[in-house]
Structure 1
Amino acid sequence: MGEASAVVEQLDMLGHATGVEVEQSSPDEGEKIAEPFDPDDIDVVTRSMTVDLLLSRTESEMIDLQPDFQRRWGVWDARRQSRLIESLLLRIPLPVLYAAEDEDERWEIVDGIQRLSTIARFIKPQIIGGQPLTLTGLEYLHDYEGKDFEGLSSRLKMRLRETELIIHLIRKGTPPEVKFNIFARINTGGMALSAQELRHAITPGKARDLLQTWASLPSFIHATDGSVRPIRMDDRELVLRFAAFYMLGLESYKQPDMDGFLITAMKAINETDETALSVMQFNFVSAMETASKIFGHDAFRKRFEKDAARLPINKAVFEALSVSLARLTHAQLATLEQRAEALRHGFMALCHDRSFESAISQGTGDIRKVNRRFSAISDLIAGVLADA
C-alpha cells in the first residue's frame, strides 16, 4: 500500500478555492521544452504606442480589453486603479505589455489587461462598458483626489493621452505552441494567467465556445457537484482534457508536454465537423451521467477511506475516468451502474496503490504516468464488467 500524498486545493487570484486539486510538478517540470522548436518561428515585434492610439484600436475592436478570461477589470479595486493613473500623471513608466495577434490582426492582451482596462475606464469608460473611475487613495497628488478625467486640466488630459506604452506583440505567424511557451515564461505577475487562460488567448476558433458550452452542461455541473469555479477556466480545462484524449487518443501523447497536447486538441476541435462534435458531446454527457450515478458527490476525486473528508476534483482522474466511460456502450454503462459498489471499492483500492497514486498526483504529464492511470482505470472497469 502506498501512502497518500498531501492534497492541496488550487486557489484563484483572490485566494478563493477553485474546487480543483493542484497538480504537483516534478522538480524539473516546466524548465524543459518537450520538443524543441525552430527559433525562426518566433516572430515578436516591439511597438511604442500612445494611450490615444491604444484606446482608438480598442474602440474599433482591434484590441480586446474584456477577453473571456473571467478576469474582468474589476479585479483591481478603485484605489489600485487610481494609483496607476497617478503613476501616469507623474510620468512613471509602466511595465511592458504583451499581446498575441490573431489571423485578423486583432490583439489579445495577455499581460497588462488590468493596466489597459484601468486607463480605458478613466479616460474613455464607454468603450469597456464600465463606470467612470474617480481617483481615490492617491499617494502624492492629493489635489486630484475625487476627480475624474473631466476634472483634470487640459494639460494633464493631454499628458495622459500622449503617454507611450511599450507592447511586445507576438505576431500571427508564430505557432500556438511557441506562443504558449513565450507567454508561460513571462507570465509571472501577481495575477498571472492560468495555463487554460493562456491556451484560450492564443488559440482562437470554435473550440473556445465549445469548451464554455460543455462546461455549462447540467451533466458536467452535476458530475462535478458544482464545485469547480469557472474564474480561472478550470472547468474548461477539464472539458479540454477529456476532448484531447478522446479525439487524439492516448497513443498520440508522445511527448511529456500536456500543455502542447491540449493546444493541439483545441486546434483539432476547430477543424472537426459539427456532426463528429455532436457525437463526442453525447458520449461526454453519458460519461458525466454515469460517473454521477456511480460515485455521487465523490466523482473524479481521490478516495482513500469510505468516510474520509471529500477531496477536490483531480484533473488526472477526470481525464482518465471520463474518457474510459465515454468509450463504453450503453449496455456496458448500465452494467457498471448496477455494479457501482464494486467499481467504487476498486477505485479506492487503486488510490492506495503507490504507482497509481503517483500517476494522478505528481508530474502528471509524464508519459509513463499518463499511460499508467489510463490503463489502471481501464483495467478496473474491464474487471468489473467481466465479473458481472
Structure 2
Amino acid sequence: MAKATRRKRPDSETVAEAERQIAEYSRTVKFTVTEYSFEFIVQKLTTDRYYVPSYQRELVWTPKKQSKFIESVFMGLPIPFVFFWQDKDGRMEIVDGSQRLRTIRDFMADKVTLRGLETLPIVNGFRFSDLPMSRQLKFVETPIRVIILDNSTDAVTRTEMFARINTGGTIANDAEIRRGSLPGPFMELIIELANDPTFIELTPISQPLINKREREELVTRFFAYLDGFDPTLNDGAGDIPTYKEEPRRFYFSFVKDMNDQVATELELEANSPTIDRMKTTFGDALNFIEKVSPYGFTKSETGNQVPRVRFESIAVGTALALRADPTVADRVEDITPLLNSTDFSAATKSDAANVKSKLLNRIRLTRNWLLNQ
C-alpha cells in the first residue's frame, strides 16, 4: 500500500493573507432578502422597472426547459433565489434569474404552451388560460425569494456573481458579459480589432467560438497583459503587478478603466492618443507575426483552434519584444524554432493557465527569445 504523502500546511503569513483577501472581498457584497409574488414581479417586468441586462438578453430557454420549470412550480418544488441590483435610476437589474422570470411572465401571457412533461403529462398542450381560475390565482400568488444587492456593489462583483451563481443552464461567457455591461470607446476598439482581417486570418477558430466572441476575449487579454506588464520589476524580468490570479476581475477592471481613460481623452480632443497607440501596437504585432509564424497563432496549416495560452505567449511576448527593441521586426524572420521547442510546449500547457507564474513564464519566453536573436 502506497504511503500517503503528508500535506504541507500553509505558513502563518499565507494564512493571514488568505484571511485578509476573504475579508476584503466579503465586504464588497451587501444585500437584503425579501419575497415577492409572481404577479408582482411580472407587473414590474412589464413596466420595465425590473429589467434584463444586455449581456443576458440573448440567453433564452428552450420551450421544453420553460415547460419543465413551470411543471416544477406546479409540483411545489423550491424555486432558487433571484438576484437583483438597484441601479442609479432606481430600476432593478436582474443579476441572476432572468430566464425563470421571463418564463413566468410569458406563461402568464399565454406565450408558452407546455410540452414534454413527464411527471404531469396531463397538462401537456396547456397554456395559462387553460388552467382553472383557482389554479391561475394560486400560480400568480406563488412567492419567490429575492436577494437585492446593495447599489454600492460594483459592476465587477455583479458580473462575477452572475458567472458563479447562474442557475439558468445557459450562461453568457466573460467576453459577452463585458461587452454588454461595459459599453464605451475602449470596448468599441476591442470589437473593431477583433474584426481586423489580418487578425481573423491569424486566428482560424470555429464558428461556435466566433459566436461566443472568442476573438474579443483574445484582444482584451492582449492589451490587459501588455499594458499591465512592467519590465523594470523583478530585477528586469518583468511583472504584471495588478494581476492577482483573479482573471475575470482583472480583465473587467482593465476594460472599465480604459473606457474611462479614453472617454476623458475624447472629451478634451477629437482623437484619443491611447486608441491611436493601441491600434499601432496591435497592427505592428500582427504584421510581425504574419511574417515570422507560418501558421499564425495555430499549430499547423490546417489548425482551427487558438489556445489562449499559446496566443498570449506569442502575441504579448512579441509586442513586448518590439517595444523593447524595434529592430526585432527586421532581424527576426522565423519563430518556428521557438514554437517547436520543448520550452514553448511546456510553457503553453493549459493546466493552471491562470497561475501568475505560468502566465509570466510564457510571455517572457517569447519576449526573451526574440530579443536574443
Fold match (TM-score > 0.5): yes
User: Helix, strand or coil for the counterpart of 1:271?
Assistant: helix
Contact persistence 1:135–1:145 (CA under 8 A): yes
Map of 2:309 onto structure 1: 316
Partner of 2:367: 378
Match of 1:347?
A: 339
The residue number in structure 1 matching 2:233 is none
In 2, the alpha carbon distance for the partners of 1:264 and 1:234 equals 19
Of 45, 50, 64, the match for 1:79: 64
Work out the percentage of aligned pairs sharing the same amino acid: 22
SS at structure 2 position matched to 1:362: coil
What is the DSSP-based 3-state SS (H/G/I as helix, E as strand, rest coil) of the residue aligned with 2:115? Answer: coil
Cα distance, 1:38 vs structure 2? 5.4
Compared with structure 1, are the counterparts of its residues 220 and 120 closer, same or farther at alpha carbon in structure 2 (3 Å cutoff)? farther
| Counterpart for residue 52 of structure 2 | 65
What is the aligned partner in structure 2 of residue 135 from structure 1? Answer: 114
**What residue is the counterpart of 1:149 in the other structure?**
128
Aligned alpha-carbon RMSD (Å): 3.7
- Counterparts of 1:59 and 1:65, CA distance in 2: 12
CA distance in 1 between counterparts of 2:55 and 2:28 reads 27
Distance 2:287 2:148 in 1: 44
Report if the CA contact (8 A) 2:83-2:147 is conserved. Answer: yes
AA in 2 matched with 1:170: L
User: 2:104 aligns to what?
Assistant: 119
* Equivalent residues in 2 for 1:204-219, closer than 5 Å: 204-206=182-184, 209-219=188-198
Instruction: Judge conservation of contact 2:347–2:362 (CA < 8 Å) in 1.
Output: no
- Structure 1 residues 190, 243: CA separation in 2 closer, same or farther (over 3 Å shift)? same
| Higher RCO by CA contacts (8 Å cutoff, separation 6 or greater) | 1
Deviation at 1:271, TM superposition (A): 1.0
When residues 118 and 240 of structure 1 are mapped into structure 2, their CA distance, relative to the original with a 3 A threshold, is same
Q: Tell me what 2:15 maps to.
A: none
Partner of 1:244: 224
Measure, in 2, the Cα distance between the counterparts of 1:57 and 1:215.
37
Structure 2: state its 5+ residue gaps. 1-9, 11-17, 231-239, 267-271
Distance in 2 between the 1:231 and 1:100 partners?
28
Find the counterpart in structure 2 of residue 225 from structure 1.
Answer: 204
Partner of 1:41: 28
User: Contact conserved, 2:44 with 2:50, CA < 8 A, in 1?
Assistant: yes
The residue identity in structure 2 corresponding to 1:86 is E
Contact 1:314 1:360 (8 Å CA) reproduced:
no
CA deviation vs aligned residue, 1:43-82 (integer Å, no higher than 9, x gap): 1222322223333333344444373258521xx3322211
Q: Alpha carbons of 1:212 and 1:187: their partners in 2 closer, same or farther (altered >3 Å)? A: same
Letter in 2 for 1:238: L
Q: What SS class does the counterpart of residue 289 from structure 2 fall into?
A: helix
Provide the rounded CA distance (Å) in 2 between the counterparts of 1:100 and 1:161. Answer: 23
Equivalent residue runs for 1:155-194 within 5 Å: 155-179=134-158, 182-183=161-162, 185-187=164-166, 190-191=169-170, 194=173
- Partner Cα distance (2:157, 2:82) in 1: 18
Distance (whole Å) between structure 2 residues aligned to residue 45 and residue 122 of structure 1: 28
3-state DSSP of counterpart to 2:286? helix
Give 1:10's aligned residue.
Answer: none
Q: Note the C-alpha offset of 1:377.
A: 0.9
**Structure 1 residues 180 and 347, CA gap change in structure 2 (3 angstroms):** same
Correspondent of 1:97 among 82, 91, 107: 82
1:367 to 342, 356, 365: 356
Query: 1:371–1:222: structure 2 CA closer, same or farther, 3 Å change rule?
Result: same
Task: Give the Cα separation in 1 of the matches to 2:168 and 2:27.
Answer: 27
Q: Is the 8 A contact 2:338 2:366 kept in 1?
A: no
Q: 1:232 to 1:55 in 2, by over 3 A?
A: farther
Amino acid across the alignment from 2:246? D
